[in-house]
Structure 1
Amino acid sequence: MTSTLINRSLPLEALATTEADYLHLGETSARTELWDGGVLACPRDTPRHQMILSALANALKANRTDLNVIAGVPVHLGPERIAVPDLIIAGTIDPDQPLVDARSVRLICEITSPTSATVDWSLKMHAYAQAGIPCYLVAEPERGLLHSYMLSAQGYVEQSVMQLVRVTGLNL
């Protein structure tokens, strides 16, 4: 059995199981994440997803020069955990390193889709809290909502629910 995870077929046993193996994969044809030694392939983004992502990035940047707003960059959450969130806001980072350390991330944002919602609301929410990322945004295009969570001692606590159109200006 083989996988077309990257631009060539690989035996399934050749898929990354460690951070070193994951980093050795390099560019792949799918967005991949490392979760506790297993590779998770994420679905491709739709044009709607990209439009929301761009609008959120612009709204979050809002003339701030002291923060880095970056889409689709791998974030090292801990041993054997590398996520590729839709969007991050980070302080000082090394732009030449392949991973952003979670300690530099101030906010992480995921845009749900029918195929990613369960992972975004459970696995990722828990892992981002465990990594100490102070703020988590979840955009739900299907419902037109943007949820804002702040980290507490018990995990993320919802702070607000906003209309996505009010934040992005997009009425999709």
Structure 2
Amino acid sequence: MDFASIDHGRPWSEDDYLALEPGGHRIELFDGSLLVSPAPTKWHQRLSLVLAAALDDAAADVGLLVMEAVNLRLRTGRLMIPDIVVADTDTDGGIVDAAEVVLVAEVISPSNAGTDRVLKMQLYADAGIACYVLVEQEPPGAATIRPHRLDGTHYVEDAAAGPGATLTMTEPFTFTFDPDALMRRVSRRRS
């Protein structure tokens, strides 16, 4: 389906949005408009999966769930699909509300870097989500992890860990980021 050619005739509601069939696109709802981007690359999805798996045990230890690519309601009419959500929620339903979320993570893709670094960063801050983690895929074949904490109405980067470094965060739960270990798992192939 070519979403650019849909003659919807009115702003998109949550019901309209939830009735869509994405057909290989990632579609998000922003104040009555659709944000459409291509499905993530295999590399992007593998990195997201490995990071989610790495976060899962630490989150579970404090009673939180880690989920990938779920509908996150920031407020009525704003549904984003972060790469990773960590929330105090159950597995019922199709939407996670921002009030349940303690951390969101986005793996930055070159095609939508501005969306993750600017638009989503502000939207997640406005929704009061305590921690925002950006994962940059630079240089190629490597990753840099940049956790941000909410400081009032905006995020502040606490630190960063790139190739050859590790970083431990203590809020909203204790977790050590090791970009090299993540990348070894991302690129692992069958022998």
Q: Smaller-chain TM-score range?
A: 0.7 to 0.9
For 2:137, the aligned partner's letter is P
TM-score for both structures, normalised by structure 1: 0.86
Alpha carbons 1:146, 1:164 under 8 Å: kept = no
Alpha carbons 1:4, 1:10 under 8 Å: kept = yes
Q: Deviations over 1:64-106 (max 9, x none)?
A: 251111000000001211000001101123x231211000011
Which residue of 1 is the match for residue 85 of structure 2? Answer: 88
SS in 1 for 2:40: coil
1:134-153 counterparts in 2 under 5 A? Answer: 134-143=130-139, 144-153=143-152
Which residue of 2 is the match for residue 107 of structure 1? Answer: 103
Q: Of the candidates 113, 120, 123, which is equivalent to residue 117 of structure 1?
A: 113
The percent identity for this pair of structures is 34
Separation in 2, partners of 1:106, 1:150 = 10
Which residue of 1 is the match for residue 183 of structure 2? Answer: 170
1:1-172 counterparts in 2 under 5 A? Answer: 3-5=1-3, 11-13=6-8, 17-25=12-20, 27-29=21-23, 30-62=25-57, 64-65=60-61, 66-93=63-90, 95-143=91-139, 144-163=143-162, 166-167=178-179, 168-171=181-184
Alpha carbons 1:102, 1:133 under 8 Å: kept = yes
Which residue of 1 is the match for residue 168 of structure 2? Answer: none
Separation in 2, partners of 1:159, 1:33 = 28
Alpha carbons 1:74, 1:100 under 8 Å: kept = yes
Change (3 A) 1:15 1:39: farther
Q: CA deviation at 1:15?
A: 8.2
RMSD over equivalenced CA pairs, Å: 2.2
Separation in 1, partners of 2:163, 2:17 = 34
Which 5+ residue runs of structure 2 have no aligned equivalent?
165-177
Q: CA deviation at 1:137?
A: 0.3
SS in 2 for 1:12: coil
Please, which moves more after superposition, 30-39 or 158-167?
158-167
Q: How many residues are aligned here?
A: 165
Change (3 A) 1:135 1:22: same
